[in-house]
Amino acid sequence: MEIISFLVNWLTYFAIYALLAITLSLEAGISGITNFGKVAFFGLGAYLGAVMNTYLLLAISGVDIGKAPPYTAEGVVALTRISASNPPLVVGVFTLSILVSFVVTGIFGYLLTYPIIRVGAGFVGFTLLCVGEVLRAIYINTGFVGGTYGMLGIPQPFIWLGNPILSSTCYLLLTTFILALTYTLTHRILNSPLGRTLRSIRDDDIAALCLGKDVPKIKSKIFFLTSGISGVAGALYACYVSSVNPQMFVTLVTFNVWAMIIIGGSESSIGATVGALILTLIERILPLTASFYGYLPFTPDYLRPVFIGLIMTITLIRYPRGLFPRKPPRIIKTIVEELEREAG
Amino acid sequence: MEIYRVILCSYVFSWIYILSSLPLTLSYRTTKVFNFAHPVFITYGAYVVIIVNEALGRRLPLATATLLAFVVGGLVSLINHLLLFKPLSYQRVSSNVYMVASMGLWFVYQYILYIACQILTRRYGANFLSYPTIEYEDVRFLQEALQLSSIPQYIITATLIGVAVGIALYVLFNKTMLGIALRGIADNATLAAVCGIPADRLVNLTWFLVGGITALSGVLWVNFSGSTTPDLGLNIVVDNFAAAFIGGLYSLPITAVASILLALVENMLLAVLNYYFGVQPTIRLAIVFGIVFAILIVRPPMGAGGGLPYRFTKRVIKK
């Protein structure tokens, strides 16, 4: 039973992080947008999901939000009661929260492209990194979302099933379905004329511009899509862990997602997915081994970023294209073979 | 009295930003590496001073602190280059890969410092995770000798280090062959190498100088702040990058002016907002970001930052 619980937990985390990794691969590996603010969109989606699944749920159920806001004990008790007794309402609000997270985070990403597409890669990375930190400062200073303590008691949409393993498994199936949709969509984009245009922009945006491609517009569209999906991942995460607080959305999250695509391969969806699978497994296994290094004179959690950072830098030096790099299209392979044959 | 305090803060922050932003610009224009691990040098500079201060029984002279921080910061930076950036340059990877690699380094250094601080705190009793202000022995002696006791020590320290570094950089880049060679590499590394300039060795020297000078802002910080934590670099990373960003990652004078203006606007605005509206200091980040965002929209920096293609497109589309 514990193994099943572990697997469900790990695979749910994997599905959520794989959504982030695949979208980052599309942004950074394919389109050349160095997004060092991934956590900004993830966090915004999570907070939107949290607000919708608490405030809206309480408001529709007739609870006085002024007397029992969701970040208080009274609010959490009311939410637990409602989520156990009214399944259609919980599922309905959850579905709406996913849609709202996609649209709002997508629009936020789209608007951000207006200033960032004007500057080079280094500035884009820095600006987006700042956006993540500024949003975190806003969460800390906003009482409406619980300030430093954040929000608790965000209902999981299948909690009314009663059995924790069953409800978690249903949630896993849902996240896996969204992951499959995202993977298919990304795969189709990569193998379409748009995918080739994106790669040309990544390799040389001035050349793409001279060939008549509307580089800013294409980048904006892609950023809308990837930001929206990151927001969905955030909403899924908030409902899975049932809480949000500003400390969950630090730059380290962005770093983890970057590590996933670096290890797996930033130019392919399969690489990003495998990277997410490996790193989420390490992240899930490390707490289980805590008893082995309990004698250490420091917090063992600090070893994880050191370990991941080292793997990431070594992978970059040894395999700059990742462990699962994108294979060149068959036509290019044939041309190269023919040229080699001609050259003798 | 409040205005006096704000002006003093702005003065010290100006020097801290100048000492950390100038090397960032210098490293980018010479090596084309946008180093996200740059703020680590500030933190390591500060912690070298803290550790030596404890080792010397809290009687540390500024001269020793400056020298040690400069050497350690420089060595960390040089090691980064030799072990990571140089091997990557052999593979002719894109600039994005350098950025990602430096981000990896940032977290490795950051958490190694956390581990070291926890071990030191347990071993020696002093709180290395939040260390109080350090008073420099020789500066105190200077204050007494010149009857400057009414001036806070951090003002004298900032002036001494800042002016010394400023003069040294001016002489290096304008009056020596070495500086001219460094400028040559920044303008065109291949051409410089063809002219017989040992580009490889000078790039090594640049990284050493970058790490060393940045670490000096840590020496200032521990003399000014009441609490130095391992998050020091992370806390001023935005200001640091913003100043370099306004200078287009190319111009050293514009970066220096941007650092001063940023420190002044940030501290003044924060004091006004706090006094009249009770806004908390945590909003500091949003103020800096607001400035950067306004610059991005009104006048995107050119220099190494790019931006030309999109302006060009706009004009073409309008026609």
**pLDDT 10s digits, A53-89:** 999 988 898 888 888 888 888 888 888 888 888 889 9
**116-135 of B, contacting A, C-beta below 8 A:** 118-119, 122-123
Q: Does B289 touch chain A (CB under 8 A)?
A: yes
B99:A34 CB<8 A? yes
Asked if the model's pLDDT at residue A134 lies above 90, the reply is no
Mean pLDDT (whole number) for A306-332? 82
Per-residue model confidence (pLDDT) at position A293: 66
Question: A333 φ, ψ to 5°?
Answer: -60, -45
Q: Does B301 touch chain A (CB under 8 A)?
A: yes
Q: Does B89 touch chain A (CB under 8 A)?
A: no
Q: Does B112 touch chain A (CB under 8 A)?
A: yes
Per-residue model confidence (pLDDT) at position B311: 44
Distance to chain B for A214, nearest Cα, Å: 8
Q: How far is CA A242 from the centre of its chain?
A: 17
Question: What's the rounded Cα separation, in Å, for the pair A14 and B309?
Answer: 39
B296:A302 CB<8 A? no
Which of B28, B104, B118 is nearest residue A297 as measured by Cβ atoms?
Answer: B118
Asked if the model's pLDDT at residue B313 lies above 60, the reply is no
Q: What proportion of chain B, given as a percentage, has pLDDT over 90?
A: 49
Q: What proportion of chain A, given as a percentage, has pLDDT over 70?
A: 95
Asked if the model's pLDDT at residue B298 lies above 90, the reply is no
Which of A133, A305, A316 is nearest residue B111 as measured by Cβ atoms?
Answer: A305
Asked if the model's pLDDT at residue B310 lies above 70, the reply is no
Q: Is residue A294 part of a domain?
A: no
Question: What's the rounded Cα separation, in Å, for the pair A246 and A139?
Answer: 6
Per-residue model confidence (pLDDT) at position A30: 85
Question: What's the rounded Cα separation, in Å, for the pair B102 and A101?
Answer: 32
Which of B100, B108, B310 is nearest residue A258 as measured by Cβ atoms?
Answer: B100
Mean pLDDT (whole number) for A157-161? 89
Q: Which residue of A has its CA nearest to B279?
A: A141
Which of B87, B96, B108 is nearest residue A310 as measured by Cβ atoms?
Answer: B108
Q: pLDDT band at residue B1, thresholds of 50, 70 and 90?
A: low
B312:A209 CB<8 A? yes
Distance to chain B for A53, nearest Cα, Å: 28
CATH topology of domain B2-318: ABC transporter involved in vitamin B12 uptake, BtuC (1.10.3470)
Q: Does B306 touch chain A (CB under 8 A)?
A: yes
Asked if the model's pLDDT at residue B194 lies above 50, the reply is yes
B296:A28 CB<8 A? no
Token pair of A342 as six digits: 């001609």
Which of A27, A35, A123 is the best residue to mutate to test the B interface, defined by the most B CB atoms within 10 Å of its own CB? A123
Contact A270, A29 (CB under 8 A): no
Q: pLDDT band at residue A294, thresholds of 50, 70 and 90?
A: low
Question: B313 φ, ψ to 5°?
Answer: -60, -45
Asked if the model's pLDDT at residue B289 lies above 90, the reply is no
Token pair of A44 as six digits: 């915004």
Q: Which residue of B has its CA nearest to A217?
A: B310
Asked if the model's pLDDT at residue B282 lies above 80, the reply is no
Q: Does A217 touch chain B (CB under 8 A)?
A: no
Question: What's the rounded Cα separation, in Å, for the pair A56 and A151?
Answer: 14
Which of the two residues, A307 and B222, has the higher pLDDT score? Answer: B222
Which of the two residues, A173 and B288, has the higher pLDDT score? Answer: A173
Q: pLDDT band at residue A329, thresholds of 50, 70 and 90?
A: low
Angle of CA points B229, B235, B239, to nearest 5°: 145
Angle of CA points B7, B9, B13, to nearest 5°: 120
A121:B301 CB<8 A? no
The total domain count for chain A is 1
B36:A306 CB<8 A? no
Q: Which residue of A has its CA nearest to B94?
A: A203
Per-residue model confidence (pLDDT) at position B302: 55
Query: Mean pLDDT in chain A?
Result: 88
**264-303 of A, contacting B, C-beta below 8 A:** 297-299, 302-303
Q: Which residue of B has its CA nearest to A122?
A: B34
Among candidate residues B313, B307, B316, the one with its CA nearest the CA of residue A215:
B313
Cβ contacts (< 8 Å) between A262 and chain B: which residues?
100, 104
Range with the poorest average pLDDT among A215-219, A229-233, B79-83, B93-97: B93-97
Q: Does B305 touch chain A (CB under 8 A)?
A: yes
Question: What's the rounded Cα separation, in Å, for the pair A238 and A250?
Answer: 15
Question: What's the rounded Cα separation, in Å, for the pair B186 and A68?
Answer: 62
Task: Write the pLDDT tens digit of every residue in A112-123.
Answer: 887 777 677 777
Asked if the model's pLDDT at residue B315 lies above 50, the reply is no
Task: Write the pLDDT tens digit of every residue in A206-257.
Answer: 888 888 888 888 888 999 999 999 999 999 999 999 999 999 999 889 989 9
Q: Is residue A293 part of a domain?
A: no
Task: Write the pLDDT tens digit of every residue in B137-151.
Answer: 999 999 999 888 889
A126:B313 CB<8 A? no
Mean pLDDT (whole number) for B180-200? 86
Contacts of A45 (CB under 8 A, 6+ apart): A101, A102, A105, A230, A231, A232, A233, A234, A235, A237, A238
Which of B96, B300, B310 is nearest residue A34 as measured by Cβ atoms?
Answer: B96
Longest dimension (CA), chain B: 71
Query: Mean pLDDT in chain B?
Result: 87
Question: What's the rounded Cα separation, in Å, for the pair B196 and B198?
Answer: 6
Which of A140, A215, A251 is nearest residue B309 as measured by Cβ atoms?
Answer: A215
Task: Write the pLDDT tens digit of every residue in A255-278.
Answer: 899 999 998 888 888 999 999 999
Q: Is residue A150 part of a domain?
A: yes
Which of A31, A316, A319 is the best residue to mutate to test the B interface, defined by the most B CB atoms within 10 Å of its own CB? A316
Among candidate residues A253, A43, A238, A234, the one with its CA nearest the CA of residue A138:
A43
Which of A119, A133, A255 is nearest residue B306 as measured by Cβ atoms?
Answer: A119
Q: Is residue A252 part of a domain?
A: yes
Which of B114, B301, B313 is nearest residue A216 as measured by Cβ atoms?
Answer: B313
B286:A262 CB<8 A? no
DSSP A230-283: HHHHHHHHHHHHSEE-GGGSSHHHHHHHHHHHHHH-TT-HHHHHHHHHHHHHHH
A130:B285 CB<8 A? yes
Q: Which residue of B has its CA nearest to A317?
A: B88
Q: Is residue A338 part of a domain?
A: yes
Q: A-B interface: how many C-beta pairs under 8 angstroms?
A: 156
Domain boundaries, chain B: 2-318
Mean pLDDT (whole number) for A84-109? 94
Task: Write the pLDDT tens digit of every residue in B20-55.
Answer: 999 999 998 888 888 889 999 999 999 999 999 999
Per-residue model confidence (pLDDT) at position B33: 86
Task: Write the pLDDT tens digit of every residue in A14-66.
Answer: 999 999 999 999 998 888 888 889 999 999 999 999 999 999 988 898 888 88
A120:B99 CB<8 A? no
Per-residue model confidence (pLDDT) at position A201: 85
Structural domain for A82, as ranges: 2-288+301-343
Q: Does A116 touch chain B (CB under 8 A)?
A: yes
Asked if the model's pLDDT at residue A202 lies above 60, the reply is yes
